[in-house]
Structures are given as structure tokens and as C-alpha cells.
A and B are shown apart, each in its own frame.
Chain A
């Protein structure tokens, strides 16, 4: 009992920490013009073209240069806010979507932005080359451009408008046709020095040192942008971002560049604020991936036993220090469209887990062990590794002897998704606003070997496959949403994988940085309204 109350207390203090940071965000003051924002970057993406590489690492820098058709929004209709597109409308038959585009927008090289650029980006880049677009836009047949500011996407097969809409913030980066139409798109120099319509122009990149973006004086947003320059200082060591903030060498560290363990200390440094808002659209899911080729794990009772053995509250409080939420299924709780709490749950119950394993016929041997397995925690985050250690102990409590196998990132990817050399793995898939973008693939069958962040555990459930197929061609938004609620139920019941927690990133910034975290994808949005108080 006392244990529980201590936990509640802890979560309370984390909430308090988050809420003390809020007032500074919500209250808009008159933004100041000018100034150089210096922030930490922990990696250096080589290809900065977000139309080809739709990933947070690339967006972090290039979303300020290259804009999408629409951006995510806390209060906009359908969670969207216009950018290069002013409106979007789907046809009832699901065969076309019409975009009305913003007029008077100029590329950074002075040429006008038109519907031809959108058509080119969609057909020549998103569909054939983009990591996510290849799936979402696979049935895109053509893009009609009746005039310079109208683009009509035509699909060969009915495609849910809801999916296209949800994909806009991450998948619809528009690049200039006149720059990319000559030569191979993958080798275009603009991939390393992007040209866009955004509030900032690409300035210079010094490998291993910094990226510099400069103000676009011709930006379409009134009075925007406020900042003169944005400098991303490359700080590869995870401890140095906190030191640089304290030494006032940088003013912002996004994407949890300051490790969770340092947040408590850094939140007490005068002039610094810890912000857990602004990443709602970039939710990561802590998932136990299961290799169903193992006969023990193919038994749903064993999977349920493992789910019962995991104390999700403990994981949130200990591994994530409160900066996370417990998960119930494959859609995160903070998703406004699809989430349902009405799914089978697995409360922490070691006795029940043991009973389920006994029932399944895997009794304890004389040494107290039932069977042994290999556990591969993904190395990309501290938290996935720490959860791996926790899971090993949790499994030991129910007589499952897990051996942890540590790999670096490429080795882990190969072991799990190509070689299937795992029994259990800990992975951090991303929920991207619609289950069809990168979530259903985690449990769907028939995916070729080697596809990362997909069902490589040999799981096959015909009912679930049918449900996914049906949802992918259901055009009515309400009916489609209901199908994905059913999908969550089925996944939670049959446990092709076990969703443990959901988390996102933390920003630490100086008090002088204004308009932080004002949209659900803030760190990867265009920062036109970000400003610095002097």
C-alpha cells in the first residue's frame, strides 16, 4: 500500500513539474523581432530533404526550410492548420482529393510556388521514394493541376480521405520542381542544401559543428519569422546538452537531448524551463515484440502471462521518471481520433501470470524455471535498454529465464527484422496520427523479411488481417474509426505484441525563448512564430 502511495506522489510531482512550465507557453506576449536561436542537435542527417526522408531527425532541421501542405494543430479542424494548402477536400468515392493552394508564395530562389510543384513532389518523390509515402500514396495515379493554385490528387483505388488528411503534417513536404526535375532526385545537391518556401533559408552546414538557417525575408506569413537565425550546434555527447544550456551557450535542447535523469536538477537552474508539451503528434510506444515462431510464445496464455507480469505503472515511474503514460493497446491514449479504452487489460498480477503459465503446460522445473528465451532491447533510447533490464527481472518472477542480448542499432535491426534471431524484443514504434501509416504493419501478416518496424515475429491472425484490409478501404470516417477501435480490441485480446507505455520527448529551454510547444509537432514544425526576448 505504502508503495502505491509513494508512486502516486511521484507521478504528482512530475505533473507539477510539467504544469509549472505551462504558463510560459500559453500566454503569448508580443513577439520580439531578431536574434539568433542556438540549440542542440545530437545527430547530423546527411540527406535533409524531408520529401524523401520523412523522419524526425530530418524534420527537426528541414521543417523550417521546406513546408508541408498542412501542419498539426491543437485546435484546428481535424487537428490541422493550413500551410502551403489552404483547404483540402476528399471526394465521396475516395478517388480524389482537391487541394486549394496558397497564392503569392515564393521559393527561396525567388521562383513562384505553384500546383506543378505539388504534383511533382507527390508523383516523383512521395510516392516512389519517400519512406512513408511509398505506403500511403501507393495508389496515387496522377495529380491534375487545372490552375496554378489547385492540385487534384487522383487515386487508382478508393483511398480514405481521413488517412490522407492525417498524413499531411509528416508526409507532404513540397520541394521545387524546377530544382529537382533535372538529373537524379536522390543525387540532387538540394538534398543537402534544401530550397523550400519556409520561414528560414538554408545557410550553411559545417560537418561535425553546426547547421545555420537564416531568415527568409520574403516569407508569406505576416511579420514572420521573428528570428534572424537558427543555429543547430552538433553536440554528440548526451551529457553536453545540459552543460551547454547551463553555460548559456545554447538556448534550447529539444528531443530529450537532456537525459530524463538530469531534468530534475536542470529544472531548478534559474532561467531554464522544462517543457513536456509540443510532442503530442510524435508519440513513441514502448512495445514488447514477440517471435511467434517460438512454440511457447505462440500460445496466447503465455503472452497474457507476460503481460500480467509487467508492472506498467512501475515502468512509467522508474524508467520514464513519470514522463510517460501506461499503454492499453496499439493506439496511444493521447490520440484524439482513434483511441479506445474499451479493450482487454492485463493488470499487474504475478500470481495470475504464474497460473496462466501452469495452465499452458509450462510448469516450473526444480530450479524454479519454466523456459529460457532471448531478449533483445532496442539500443536507440536509454529507456528501451532500461526497460529490457526491468523485463528480464519481471520475467524471472514468473519463472521465465530471459537472456539479454545487446546490439548496436544496425545489428539490432538485422537481428530482429531480417534474421528473426530473437524471442522477445523491446521496440519503440512511432504512432503517426493514423494507424494505417505505421501501426497496422506491426501485426499484419505477409510482410517480407527485412522490413524494419513491422511484424517480423511470424504472427498471423486472419481475423485481424481482414480487419486491417477492410479499414484500409473504408471511406467513411466514422466507420473507419470504428474499425480501428475494433482493431485495438483484437490486438489487446490476442497480444501479437504487448504495448507497455507511451512517451514522447522533453524540451529544455531558456526563459527567453517564446512560443515554444504551441503545436503537437512543435519541434518538427516551421518555427515561424518562435522568438527571443532579449
Chain B
């Protein structure tokens, strides 16, 4: 237990620096992008010089970059994410509204790619070099090579337009007043396509990793010992080979969470899912710097937390890992 606590403490200190770098980096990158929130706003409205000046003043864009960054960091110290210029609402509210949707999408897609990927990996790795191994490896690699938006569009055309089994997009039926279980079922139906599009892409990663890990494990002495003991093949595959190959997948799970967040930007747009990814895209397009900073900050905290959880889990799963970090 103390080992985990030490790990958490060390990580938290490190995280603060990571977050600071992320904030300042994002801020500078957005400042370097030509045009500000007012330029983005007047694209659809036009306006005269007086109106533009008024808007810049109202949105605080007439202050220097340094002042704005300092103001932002100062507010952040008080846990205030500021006000979104495009939504004219507190950013905390806007993000909290969108976060659950993205989390639901991410968790479901991760469960799909991790669950199905490792299961198929075990199936393929149980007989390395067999036909099913080759078939699954090549098939999953092909999926991995497919761009997310394309896979999404194909799924829409087949399952929503032609077969009409599933809705083309959104997170739930529009203004349907469903509650409780009916609403949950409705959301689940809406999630099938986006989760498949996002999950199937990363499936290959887990499948191939599992398969490679198993191929490695087959050569280990303990497998030979298990065989010598006369255990059934099924038992050897599941309890000895697969179990050992599973560890690196857990690490991957943490790393993958950041990529999933990136992938969700595309998938959320294609499927009109009102999540954080789409919000980020809108924030960039409208040059809503504080909103984007808020989203990136939230994502960074999320990724750091997931990786910390993974490391803690790892420390328990494999005592060799935590010991060195905690003891150093």
C-alpha cells in the first residue's frame, strides 16, 4: 500500500509540471494560429470597425498575450477555467456537459478493442502460424490501416442507410423524453456504430500484441514444465501463456487512452456525437482559446489519471515494476 502511495505522490508532483507545459504550449500554439475569436465570429456576420473593436474589448482580446496567459493561470490557480467566448458560458459547465459522452464512447470502445482484441489474440496465438492466426493478423492489420472517418461512413451507409438497423448518428433520440432504462437502451443503440468505428481500429493493436506475447511465452520454460506435467492444452493456453502475455497489454491500455481521445474527434464529428472531441474541433475553428485550454487540460488530467491507475494496477500485477520506482 505504501508503495502505491509513494507512486501517487511522485506522479502528482510530476503531473503539475506536465500540465503547466501543456497549458503554455497550447496557449502559444493557438496564439501562433492566424486570426482570433473575433475574426472567426465575423466570418458569418460581417461587421464594421466599431463593432469589431467592441467585440475585441468585450472578449478581452485587446489585452496582450502575456496578460491573458497570466490571467488564465491565475484564475486556474483558483480552479476557475474561465468563460467561453463562443458559448458565453462558464467553460467548466460546457465541459462537464460533454465529458460523460466522450468517456462513455472511450470506455466502450476501449472495452471492445481490448476485450475482443485480446480474445482474438489468444485464439490466434494458441496456434501460432496456423491459418486462423494468419487470417486474423492480416484482417486486423487491414482494419488498423483504415482511416476512422472512412470506416465510420461505411458503417453508416450499410447499417443506417441501407439496412436501417441503427441510427445514423447522435447520442440519443432527439427530444424523445425517454427516461431510465428506455433511455439507457436508446443511448446504447446509438453508440453501436461509433463505438465499433473507434474500437475496431485499435483492435489490431491488442490482437497483435497478445499474439506476439503468446508466441514469446510458448518458448518459455514454464510452458514446457506445464506440458511436462501433462496439463491440457486449453489450460496451458489460458492459465500460462495468455496470462503472461496479458501484462504488456495493460501498459498499452494506458498509452492508448490518449490516442482514443484523439480518434474520438473524428468519430464524434462523423456520427454527430456531442462529445469533447467535437467541442475541441469547434474551439479551434472558433479560436476559443480558453475553451480549448480547458478541454486540453481536462484531457491531460484524464490521461495522467488513467496512466497512474494502470501503473498502480501493474505494480500489483507484477511486483518487479513498482519496487524499483518506489524505492529509487
Contact = CB atoms under 8 A, between A and B. Distances in A.
Contacts of A239: 153
B35 A410 contact: yes
Contact of B274 (A131, A206, A408): A206
A207 B97 contact: yes
B48 A236 contact: no
Contacts of A407: 34-35
B42 interface: yes
B89 to A, nearest CB: 9
Contacts of B88: 46-47, 187, 192
The winner among A45, A413, A438 for most chain B CB atoms within 10 A is A413
A482 interface: no
Contact of A408 (B36, B164, B273, B285): B285
B237 interface: no
Interface in B23-46: 33-37, 39-40, 42-46
Contacts of B73: none
The winner among A53, A186, A208, A380 for most chain B CB atoms within 10 A is A208
A437 to B, nearest CB: 10
B272 A410 contact: no
B170 A409 contact: no
B226 interface: no
Interface stretch (A240-248, A344-352, A392-400): A240-248
Interface in B150-179: 153, 156-157, 160-161, 164, 167-172, 174-175
B58 interface: yes
A209 B170 contact: yes
Interface stretch (A24-32, A288-296, A321-329, A448-456): A448-456
A231 B52 contact: no
A132 interface: yes
Question: Interface size class for chain A?
Answer: 35 or more
B198 interface: no
Given A249-B167, A410-B39, A411-B33, A53 B45 contact: yes
A263 B42 CA distance: 30
Contact of A207 (B35, B48, B274): B274
Given A46-B87, A233-B174, A451-B52, A247 B160 contact: yes
B52 A410 contact: no
B98 to A, nearest CB: 7
Given A134-B51, A236-B269, A413 B35 contact: yes
B50 interface: yes
A235 interface: yes
The winner among B47, B174, B269, B286 for most chain A CB atoms within 10 A is B174
A419 B94 CA distance: 33
A410 B34 contact: yes
Contacts of B52: 450-451
Interface in A162-187: 186-187
B208 interface: no
A247 B156 CA distance: 10
Given A206-B274, A208-B278, A237-B270, A244 B48 contact: no
Contacts of B292: none
A130 B37 CA distance: 18
A433 to B, nearest CB: 15
A451 B38 CA distance: 11
A53 B46 CA distance: 9
A359 B251 CA distance: 71
The winner among B42, B58, B160 for most chain A CB atoms within 10 A is B42
A234 interface: yes
B77 interface: no
A204 interface: yes
B49 interface: yes
Interface string A349-381: 000000000000000000000000000000010
Contacts of B50: 134
B304 to A, nearest CB: 26
Nearest to A209: B274
A452 B38 CA distance: 11
B272 A236 contact: yes
B46 A413 contact: no
A411 B34 contact: yes
Contacts of A447: 49
Given A246-B161, A410-B35, A414-B34, A134 B46 contact: no
B51 A131 contact: yes
A240 B272 contact: yes
A450 B42 CA distance: 10
B25 to A, nearest CB: 20
A208 B98 contact: yes
A453 B168 contact: no
A440 to B, nearest CB: 13
B298 interface: no
A57 interface: yes
A410 B278 contact: no
Given A207-B94, A209-B171, A452 B272 contact: no
B287 interface: yes
Nearest to A231: B174
The winner among B52, B171, B273, B278 for most chain A CB atoms within 10 A is B52
A414 B274 contact: no
Given A46-B88, A207-B94, A409 B274 contact: no
A237 B161 contact: no
Contacts of A231: 174-175
A55 to B, nearest CB: 5
A307 B37 CA distance: 35
A254 interface: no
Contacts of A451: 47-49, 52
Nearest to B43: A409
B299 interface: no
10 contacts: A46-B88, A207-B87, A207-B274, A231-B175, A407-B34, A411-B39, A412-B35, A413-B42, A414-B34, A415-B34
Interface of A: 38, 43, 45-47, 53-57, 129, 131-132, 134-135, 186-187, 192, 203-204, 206-210, 212, 229, 231, 233-237, 239-240, 243-244, 246-249, 380, 407-415, 418-419, 438, 447-448, 450-453
Identify the 6 closest CB pairs spanning chains A and B, nearest first: A208-B274, A410-B35, A410-B40, A410-B39, A411-B34, A414-B35
